[in-house]
Each structure stands twice: as structure tokens, then as C-alpha cells.
Chains A and B, each alone.
Chain A
């Protein structure tokens, strides 16, 4: 038995480790897009129920992250970026992470159903199961398209927020789903370009590892085009006003320009991948700004 294993079984994990298991930083984007989905819905939801719905989205995302880390502890241990997480660092037993993830996920779905409606709860439950079974267990280790299909899991929050308020799905939340779904590949591929050695070391078949840097850079731009179309679409369709349309068009143009810079870059070493790092950083701001613009548009132009 190694000293790490002994430590894992001898000491109970700290509460901070359980918090870290939920990936709070990733959760912020999930919570924000879920909140925006709720705020732009045409039905009024009582603030207490709205708060509970967002809390459930956050808890569901945390549960999915915990189950992801439970399953991927071996991969995380091999990557510099993830080696200090509670499981690979030996600060928590794997069973504890599994029990925490299943318990938190079940709790979030039940609370959502009781507080808002069971359609929103079903979509929340489906998003957790999709992330764990389809992305983490099925796709991630098998195909370079892992992030393309698996990205759908992260696209659910605005749909869940909308469903919590209205009890149904509609064209606008489905377009927002499509936007995040199409945004995910360029976002993660930009990251995977400059941390590809990590993925290669862990045996994860990310696109730059399997298909090379050039193909990945082309794919980033190819996905950014329909992503931009999905971002702007609510405006011509009459689902959002000019404030949103202008913001979405401007932000998407910047995204496309940065993606073109990535395509023009021939660097193979992470140190020379400034355009990739810029695109990755901007992609996070992009999603925050687009959803923020939609809420401003809805609330300023009723």
C-alpha cells in the first residue's frame, strides 16, 4: 500500500475538497447562462423559486463535475493541470466522491421538481446523466469528437432556466442551447492546442493529439462560423432586439477574427501560442457578454 493510499483511507476529506470537487470556477458560467435563460423567459417566476432553480442548476453542475472527477481520477493524475485535484492528490477516497456526486445530483433534481416543475427537473437530470455517461464514460477516451457531442451537456443551463420559469422549451432557449453547443468545440480546442502534451500524456484523444495542430485550427474556425450564426439568429427571427443583435454581431466578429489569427498561427510550442490563449480567454468573455446582452435587451426593450 502506498503512502498516498494510506493517507486517503486514514484521513476524512476536508469540506474544501468536496467544494473543489464541484469545480466552482466552471460552475460560474453554468450558473450565469442558466440565470439568463430564466430572466429572458416570458413568464414571471417568484424570486425565491428563481433562486432555488439557479441553486439546483449549480448543484447539478457540481454533481456532474464530482462524478466526472470520480471516473477520471486516473487521467487527472497524469495531467499537470488537474493533478492537484482532491482525488489524484490523494486527499479524498474515490467512494466519497461517488457518493457525494450521486447524492448531490439526486438532491438537485428532486429540489428542482418540488420548487419549480418536473419538466425542468427532467432536463436537469438528463444534463447530468449526459455529462457523466455520454461525455465522461463513453466519448472522452474514445474519440476526438468527445467535446463536440459531449459539449451538449454544458449547453443545457439556459434551457433549464427557461423551463424552470415556463415549464416548457421554446425556440429562443433552443437557439441558446445551439450557441453553447457550437461554442464548446472552439473553446476547448483552443485550450487543448496549448496543453496538448498534457492530454497526450494522459491518453485522451483530443483533436490536436489525434489529428494535429493544423486540422484543429481549421476546425476551430469552421465551428466558429455556425456558432456566430446561432448567436445572431435570435435578432432576425424577432426573438431579441437590436441591442442584443448588435452586441452578438460585434462579439461574434471579434471571435471570428481571433479564430482566423489562430488559423494563421503555425506555432507548435505552447509558448508561441498567444493567439490560441487569446481566443480561449475571449471565448469565456464572449459567452458572458452575449448572455448579458440578451438580458439587457429583454429588460430594456420589453
Chain B
């Protein structure tokens, strides 16, 4: 595998990791909001 391939792999992994981090952050906020709403309903 050539060096440019390694760079491209790194770039793609970085992009996926960033999107995954944002999604996980959004999911944590969503679960928190769901919990608050459902606790309020009881």
C-alpha cells in the first residue's frame, strides 16, 4: 500500500470518527430529554 493510500485511510477514519462523536453526543442529549419527559409524566 502506498503512502497516499495511508493518508486517505486516515482522512476517512477521521471523518467517520468525527461524525460518530457528534451522533453519540446528540444521542446522549436525546436520551436525557426522553428520560426527563417520561419521568415528568409519571
Q: How many pairs of residues, A versus B, come closer than 8 Å at their CB atoms?
A: 34
Of all chain A residues, the one with the shortest Cβ separation from B41 is A46
Please indicate the chain B residues that have their CB under 8 angstroms from the CB of A12 in the complex.
9, 12-13, 16
Please indicate the chain B residues that have their CB under 8 angstroms from the CB of A114 in the complex.
34
What is the number of residues of chain B that contact chain A, defined by CB distance less than 8 Å?
Answer: 16
Min CB gap A94→B, angstroms: 18
Min CB gap A38→B, angstroms: 15
Contact with B along A184-197 (1 / 0, CB 8 A): 00000000000000
- The answer on a CB contact under 8 Å between A52 and B15 is no
Q: Chain B interface mostly helix, strand, loop or mixed? A: helix
A210 within 8 Å of B by Cβ?
A: no
- The answer on a CB contact under 8 Å between B1 and A46 is no
- The answer on a CB contact under 8 Å between A52 and B34 is yes
Bound form: Cα–Cα A52–B27 in Å: 10
Bound form: Cα–Cα A49–B13 in Å: 33
- The answer on a CB contact under 8 Å between A115 and B5 is no
Contact with B along A10-42 (1 / 0, CB 8 A): 111111000000000000000000000000000
B3 within 8 Å of A by Cβ?
A: no
Binding site for A on B (CB under 8 A): 1, 5, 8-9, 12-13, 15-16, 19, 30, 33-34, 36-38, 41
20 A-B interface contacts by CB (under 8 A): A10-B1, A10-B5, A11-B5, A11-B9, A11-B12, A12-B9, A12-B13, A12-B16, A14-B16, A15-B16, A48-B30, A48-B33, A48-B36, A49-B38, A52-B30, A52-B34, A55-B30, A114-B34, A115-B34, A115-B38
